[in-house]
Structure 1
Amino acid sequence: MKYVDNKVLDLNIAYIGGGSRGWAWNLMSDLAKEESISGTVKLYDIDYDAAHDNEIIGNSLSKRQDVKGKWLYKACETLKEALIDADFVIISILPGTFDEMESDVHAPEKYGIYQSVGDTVGPGGIVRALRTIPMFVDIANAIKEYCPDAWVINYTNPMTLCVRTLYEIFPEIKAFGCCHEVFGTQKLLSRALQDIKGINDVPREDIKINVLGINHFTWIDKARYKGIDLMPVYKQFVDKYYESGFQSDANDNWMNNSFVSAERVKFDLFLRYGIIAAAGDRHLAEFVPGYWYLKDSETVREWMFGLTPVSWRKEDLKRRLERSKKLISGEEKFELKETGEEGVKQIKALLGLGDLVTNLNIPNYGQIENVPYGSVVETNALFSDNTVKPISSGKLPDSISGLVLRHVYNQETILKAALTKNFDLAFSAFVNDPLVTISLKDAKKLFKEMLENTKEYLNGWKL
Structure 2
Amino acid sequence: MTTIAFLGAGSVVFTRDLLTDLLAYDDLPDLTIRLHDIDPERLETAEGIARATARLSGADPTITAHLDRREALSGADFVVNSIQVGGYPATVVDLEVPARFGLRQTIGDTVGVGGIFRALRTFPVLAAIAQDVLELCPDAWFLNYTNPMAMNIAYLHAVAPRLKAVGLCHSVYWTVRGLSDLVGVPFDEVTYRSAGVNHQAWILTWEHDGQDLYPRLDERIAGDPELRRRVRVDMYRHLGRYPTESSEHSAEYLPWYMHHDAEVERLRIPVGDYLQISRDNVAEYEETRRRLRAGEDIGTREHEAQEYAPQIIHSIVTGVPRDIVVNVPNAGLIDGVPAAFTAEVPAVVDGRGVHPQAMGALPPQLLAVNAAYIGTGTLTVRAAVEGDPRLVRQAAMVDANTSATLTVGEIWDLCNTMVEAHGELLAPALRAQVHP
TM-score w.r.t. structure 2 length? Answer: 0.92
Give the RMSD, CA atoms, in angstroms.
1.9
Q: Which residue of 2 aligns with 1:346?
A: 312
**Counterpart pick for 1:438 among 406, 414, 433:** 406
What SS does the corresponding residue of 2:227 show, helix, strand or coil?
coil
User: Alpha carbons of 1:356 and 1:406: their partners in 2 closer, same or farther (altered >3 Å)?
Assistant: same
- State the match for 1:42 in structure 2: 34
Per-residue deviation, 1:312: 4.5
Instruction: Determine whether 1:335 maps to 2:305.
Output: no
Once the two structures are overlaid, the 10-residue window that deviates more, 368-377 or 295-304, is 295-304
Name the structure 2 match of 1:159. Answer: 149
Q: What is the CA-CA distance between 1:25 and the residue it aligns to?
A: 1.6
Of the three residues 279, 282, 286, the one matched with 1:314 is 279
Aligned to 1:256: none
Counterpart in the other structure of 2:50? 58
1:335 maps to a residue whose letter is T
SS at match of 2:223: helix
CA drift of 1:44 comes to 0.9
Over residues 87-109 of structure 1, what are the superposed CA-to-partner deviations in whole Å (9 max), with x where a residue is unaligned? 00000011212111111112212
> Per residue, is there more helix in 1 or in 2?
2
Kindly indicate whether residue 363 of structure 2 is the aligned counterpart of residue 372 of structure 1.
no
User: 3-state SS of the aligned residue for 2:359?
Assistant: coil
Deviations 1:65-99 (A, max 9, x none): x5243222211121110111100000001121211
Give, in angstroms, the shift of residue 298 of structure 1. 5.3
> 1:41 is paired with a residue of what secondary structure?
strand
Q: Within the alignment, does 1:140 sit opposite 2:130 as a pair? A: yes
Q: What amino acid sits opposite 1:448 in the alignment?
A: N
> Which structure 1 residue ranges, 4+ long, deviate > 4 Å from structure 2?
none
The question of whether the paired residues in 1 share the 8 Å contact of 2:36 and 2:43 is answered with: yes
| Change over 3 Å in CA distance of 1:100–1:206 after alignment to 2 | same
Which residue matches 1:325? 290
For 1:287, the equivalent position in structure 2 comes to: 253
- Compute the displacement of 1:315 (Å): 4.4
Counterpart amino acid of 2:46?
N
Alignment: residue pair count? 426
Letter in 2 for 1:318: A
> Shift of residue 141 of structure 1?
1.0
Aligned 8 A contact 1:189 1:207 in 2: no
SS at match of 2:26: coil
Aligned counterpart, 1:462: 432
Q: Name the aligned partner's letter for residue 11 of structure 1.
A: T
Seen in structure 2, the aligned counterparts of structure 1 residues 327 and 33 have a Cα distance that, compared at 3 Å, is farther
How far off is 1:142 after superposition?
Answer: 1.1
Do the aligned partners of residues 279 and 347 (structure 1) sit closer, same or farther apart at CA in structure 2, a change above 3 Å counting?
A: same
Stretch of structure 1 that moved more, 137-146 or 293-302: 293-302
Partner of residue 220, structure 2: 237
Kept in 2: contact 1:192–1:233 (CA 8 A): no
Give secondary structure in 2 for the equivalent of 1:15.
strand
| 1:136-187 CA distance string (max 9 Å, x none) | 1111111111111001110000001111122222212211111111122112
**Deviations 1:220-249 (CA, angstroms, capped at 9, x unpaired):** 1111122221122222223233x3227xxx
User: Cα gap change, 1:341/1:297 in structure 2, threshold over 3 Å: closer, same or farther?
Assistant: farther
Structure 2 match to 1:110 = 100
The 3 A distance-change label for structure 1 pair 384 and 349 is: same
Distance 1:229 1:68, change over 3 A: farther
The question of whether the paired residues in 2 share the 8 Å contact of 1:103 and 1:453 is answered with yes
2:202 to 197, 211, 219: 219
Indicate conservation of the 8 Å contact 1:189/1:230, yes or no: no
Q: Using the TM superposition, give the Cα deviation of residue 328 of structure 1 relative to its aligned residue in structure 2, in angstroms.
A: 4.1
Matches of 1:296 and 1:409 in 2, distance apart?
A: 23
Q: Tell me which moved more, 361-370 or 120-129.
A: 361-370
Aligned to 1:299: 263
Counterparts of 2:222 and 2:204, CA distance in 1: 18
CA distance in 2, matches of 1:277, 1:145: 39
Given residue 462 of structure 1, which amino acid in structure 2 is its aligned partner? A
Say yes or no: does 1:75 pair with 2:65. Answer: yes
Residue 150 (1) aligns with residue 115 (2): no
Partner of residue 118, structure 2: 128
Query: What does 1:87-98 correspond to in 2, within 5 Å?
Result: 87-98=77-88
SS at match of 2:57: coil
* Residues 326, 344 of structure 2: 8 Å contact kept: yes
Contact 1:213 1:219 in 2 (8 A): yes
Counterparts in 2 of 1:445 and 1:26: CA distance versus 1, 3 Å: same
Equivalent residue number for residue 381 of structure 1: 347
Where does residue 233 of structure 2 map in the other structure?
Answer: 267
Which residue identity is paired with 1:44?
H
- More deviation in 10-19 or 294-303? 294-303
Gaps of 5+ in 2: none
In the alignment, is residue 26 of structure 1 matched against residue 17 of structure 2?
yes
**Offset of 1:417 from its aligned partner?**
0.8
Deviation, 1:111, is 2.5
- Sequence identity (%): 29
Letter matched to residue 435 of structure 1: N
Counterpart of 2:219 in structure 1: which amino acid? Q
- Post-superposition offset of 1:300: 2.3
Render the CA deviation track for 1:433-463: whole Å, top value 9, x for unaligned: 1112312222222111111111121241323
> Hey, what does 2:2 align to over in structure 1?
11
Aligned to 1:251: none
Classify the secondary structure of the residue corresponding to 1:288.
coil
Instruction: State the match for 2:415 in structure 1.
Output: 447
Classify 1:356/1:149 alpha carbon distance in 2 versus 1 (closer, same or farther; 3 Å). same
Q: Distance in 1 between matches of 2:254 and 2:106?
A: 13
Q: How far apart in 1 are the matches of 2:264 and 2:313? A: 39
Q: Could you tell me the TM-score, scaled by structure 1's length? A: 0.87
Residue matched to 1:5: none
After superposition, the C-alpha distances for 1:324-365 in whole angstroms (9 at most, x for unaligned) are: 231243222442663232321121112234111011101113
Q: Larger deviation: 151-160 or 19-28?
A: 19-28
Q: 1:61, 1:334 within 8 Å by CA — same for their partners in 2?
A: no
Structure-2 residue corresponding to 1:86:
76
**1:183 equivalent in alignment to 2:173:** yes
Q: Which amino acid aligns with 2:245?
A: A
| 1:306 maps to amino acid | P
